[in-house]
Amino acid sequence: MTATGRRRSSLLYAGLALLVTASTTGCSRLVDAQARFFAASHYNRAVEAYIQHRHAAAQRELRKSLRFDPSHPEANLLLAQLYLRDEKYAEASECLRRARKHVAEDSPDVLFTLADLYDRAGKYAEAEATYRKAYRGNPTNPVAQNNLGYFLANRDRKLDEALELIRSAVKSRPHDGSFVDSLGWVQYRRGSLDEASKLLSRAKELDPDTAEIHYHLGIVYRDLNRADDARTEFLHAFDRDPDFQLARDELRKLGEDPRNPHGKRNETTTEPR
């Protein structure tokens, strides 16, 4: 879970300032400023779509943004995150390469995205080292705390450290559903199922549209032998992200057909002759 999609961009206002300045300094600068303005406008639309979990729309807006300004670092980073989500690792790497040309190597967003790329590629040692680098550079940053803690919890290692990190993040941002989800997940990994259930239910209230939160809660219900509740949460996860393979797998284990998860039947009607 990264911060990229939760940060509003100020680039739209920067684009307006560039446009005003350029109008007094020549046509070529005006064209450049207009391109940056439109790039920023599409980027801001992409951020709104991302926050609303409309990932396909976000990708379209980001590609439009990059047509106007291929060097736009935040657009490249957010598009890299979306490509990672879709397991398009080559495309994600290219976006990250472009972004790194224009931002500092120790930029938190660059490090978060690079760590995520390592993680998804199965390079866990490199991923942990990169998350730790981001945390060392920003030890009071709740996103850095959450990302490192969640990575450790997901790998089922150093759970005491993970718990401490995520608790600090939640203390800073108690109404962030993704952080509360991380706290619930590390409690699950520690075997505290009842506490995990409470926290993940709270995370679902805070962020009801994130598939991963429903999936995590479903896993906890499964291990609490609450099969019907688990099925409901896996269905919610599937509804929000039909490509969520882990949710599909759990539905199959419960006897659900992921292609027809709600048991809908295609009924045909016979017209009277």
Output the domain CATH number for residue 52: 1.25.40.10
> According to the model, what pLDDT value does residue 258 have?
67
Half-sphere exposure at residue 229, Cβ-oriented, CA atoms within 13 angstroms: 13
Contact between 191 and 224 under an 8 Å Cβ cutoff? The reply is no
Q: Is residue 18 part of a domain?
A: yes
Half-sphere exposure at residue 30, Cβ-oriented, CA atoms within 13 angstroms: 6
Would you place residue 180 in the very low, low, confident or very high pLDDT band (cuts 50, 70, 90)? Answer: very high
Would you place residue 60 in the very low, low, confident or very high pLDDT band (cuts 50, 70, 90)? Answer: very high
- Tell whether the model's pLDDT for residue 269 goes beyond 80: no
Burial of 181 (0-12, 13-18, 19+ CB in 10 A): buried
Q: Is residue 55 part of a domain?
A: yes
Q: Which amino acid is at 139?
A: P
Domain that holds residue 19: 8-103
Q: Pick the closest to residue 72 from 12, 138, 3 (CA basis).
A: 12
Q: Is residue 191 part of a domain?
A: no
Q: Is residue 250 part of a domain?
A: no
For the segment 123-148, what is each residue's pLDDT rounded down to a tens digit? 899 999 999 999 999 999 999 999 99
DSSP string of 201-212?
HHHHHH-TT-HH
- How many helices (H) and strands (E) the chain has is answered by 14, 0
For the segment 212-224, what is each residue's pLDDT rounded down to a tens digit? 999 999 999 999 9
Contact between 45 and 60 under an 8 Å Cβ cutoff? The reply is no
Would you place residue 87 in the very low, low, confident or very high pLDDT band (cuts 50, 70, 90)? Answer: confident
For the segment 2-51, what is each residue's pLDDT rounded down to a tens digit? 333 332 222 333 333 333 333 334 444 444 888 888 898 999 999 898 88
- Tell whether the model's pLDDT for residue 65 goes beyond 50: yes
pTM of the model: 0.74
**Alpha carbons 30 and 116: distance in angstroms, whole number:** 38
Number of domains in the chain: 1
Q: Is residue 56 part of a domain?
A: yes
Q: Is residue 151 part of a domain?
A: no
Q: Is residue 42 part of a domain?
A: yes
> According to the model, what pLDDT value does residue 11 have?
32
Lowest mean pLDDT among 71-80, 157-166, 228-237, 257-266: 257-266
Contact between 14 and 29 under an 8 Å Cβ cutoff? The reply is no
Q: Is residue 184 part of a domain?
A: no
